[in-house]
Amino acid sequence: MLATYIMKSLFPLTILTFFLPCHLPADVSKEIQLGVEAVAGYRSGYVYRGFELAESTIDFQVETEIALSNRTSLNLGSWYATENGKGDFDESAFFSHLRFKQTDQFTIGLSASYRHFGNSSSPLSTAFKDGVDVGTFATWQFNDDFSTTAGVYYDSGAEAWYGNAETQWSKAISEKTFLALNTGISYVDDYYGRDGINDAYSRLSLTHHLSDTVSITPYLGGSLLLDSSDAGDDQAFAGLWFEVRF
């Protein structure tokens, strides 16, 4: 299929761009800047790439961002989620994202993660397999409030490809509060039984900074399956994040 061919072709081509010469300002700081964020959250349903993996869950994440230069940054983090109530699903993950800013508007990146899925409840959805997920993505920043991102990823657990295109919009409504809306569409290639256009998804969130280092973010989200032959269900969920920055 054409979309599958495009996904597989873009992956090595994008990686090659990291080896192209680029011009950096002479005054790039030699100091490595470091930022750390810890997040604890609750969600009424856990949906990943259009699949419902669990019902109500509590999750924890720690992530650090390392500014390697004024155009290159590296994010490293870990994640753990566990299901509440009658379910016994849990997931742990380690992830990394390397971003290289080509221009003020255009950024390319590489991502790699490892996910372990424990006690998956098959009646909810497909039981995901442990594996490494590697991919490449590109972001175009139209202005401070709006950007688009497209990505292609290979999941070794599924032994299949996943691609998506999404938009990110945000708007400050006060000095300490801003609204954000993420929307996207995904495509899969024999990904846990799904093939072709997968789902359309969105998340609307409201972040309020309680202080310079502490924030709280309630959100609403959903996933609409676009393949009418799929046995899965459309999903809607709500959640809350509590964030601390160091």
Q: What pLDDT sits at residue 207?
A: 97
Q: What pLDDT sits at residue 32?
A: 52
73-102 per-position pLDDT tens digit:
999 999 999 988 666 889 999 999 999 999
**Whole-number average pLDDT of the chain:** 86
Rounded to a whole number of angstroms, the distance between the first and last alpha carbons of the chain is: 46
Q: What pLDDT sits at residue 54?
A: 87
How many whole angstroms separate alpha carbon 225 and alpha carbon 200?
7
Please give the helix or strand (H or E) that residue 5 lies within, else none.
helix 2-16
Q: Give the other-Cβ count within 10 Å of 29's Cβ.
A: 10
Is the pLDDT assigned to residue 134 strictly greater than 90?
yes
Hunting for tokens 């964030």 — which residue is that? 243
How many whole angstroms separate alpha carbon 181 and alpha carbon 148?
12
Q: What pLDDT sits at residue 210?
A: 96
State what percent of residues in the chain have pLDDT above 90: 69
Query: What residue segments make up the domains of the chain, in order of their start?
Result: 2-20+38-245
Rg value, the chain, Cα: 19
Chain centre to alpha carbon of residue 34? 21
Buried b (16+ CB within 10 A) or exposed e, 167-182: ebeeeeeeeeebebeb
CATH 3.40.50.150 is held by the domain 2-20+38-245? no
Is the pLDDT assigned to residue 7 strictly greater than 60?
no
State what percent of residues in the chain have pLDDT above 70: 80
Is the pLDDT assigned to residue 5 strictly greater than 70?
no
How many whole angstroms separate alpha carbon 177 and alpha carbon 160?
40
Confidence of residue 19 (pLDDT cuts 50, 70, 90): very low
Q: What pLDDT sits at residue 110?
A: 97
Mean pLDDT, residues 163-183: 97
How many whole angstroms separate alpha carbon 141 and alpha carbon 62?
26
How many whole angstroms separate alpha carbon 120 and alpha carbon 105?
41
23-50 per-position pLDDT tens digit:
444 444 445 566 899 999 999 999 999 9
